[in-house]
Amino acid sequence: MNLVMPLINAQQGHQAIETAWKHSKSLLIAGHRLTLTVKPETRSDAQNRRLWAMLGEISDQVCWHGRHLSAEEWKHVFTASLKRQDVVPGLDGGFVVLGQSTSKMTKAEMSDLQTLMEAFGAERGVKFSAVE
């Protein structure tokens, strides 16, 4: 059994916690081990669509140090910049960015990432036609 409930406000959150307790109490009494996780809401579908539209347009319009990067490669560049991430030598040469998956980003982090991309695009004359 998986129980996932968005928490919108304090009153609804309290009700959701009571519901979670009602669902889990008998399982715990029966000796089952459960995990309760409370975390910030992750990115929305609209943010994800906008992200990939922006990455595609940057990929189409920007030459980066003599290379045209794919949308996926640009995603790594931007997430590394946003998170001030580090690089380590790769197993077979080159370097590996120690990054964060965008699918695990909160809505606020995704908003920050897209703001970074907009600023980058503005500096380089990128036309974002698909941006909502």
Q: What pLDDT is stored for residue 5 in this prediction?
A: 87
Q: What is the pLDDT of residues 39-74, one digit of tens each?
A: 888 888 899 999 999 999 999 999 999 999 999 999
Is the torsion defined by CA of 116, 122, 128, 131 positive or negative? Answer: positive
Distance of alpha carbon 6 from alpha carbon 42, whole angstroms: 11
Phi, psi (degrees; rounded to nearest 5) at 88? -130, 155
Distance of alpha carbon 117 from alpha carbon 37, whole angstroms: 31
Q: Does residue 4 register a pLDDT over 90?
A: no
Contact between 66 and 128 under an 8 Å Cβ cutoff? The reply is no
Q: Which residue has tokens 């995603």? A: 75
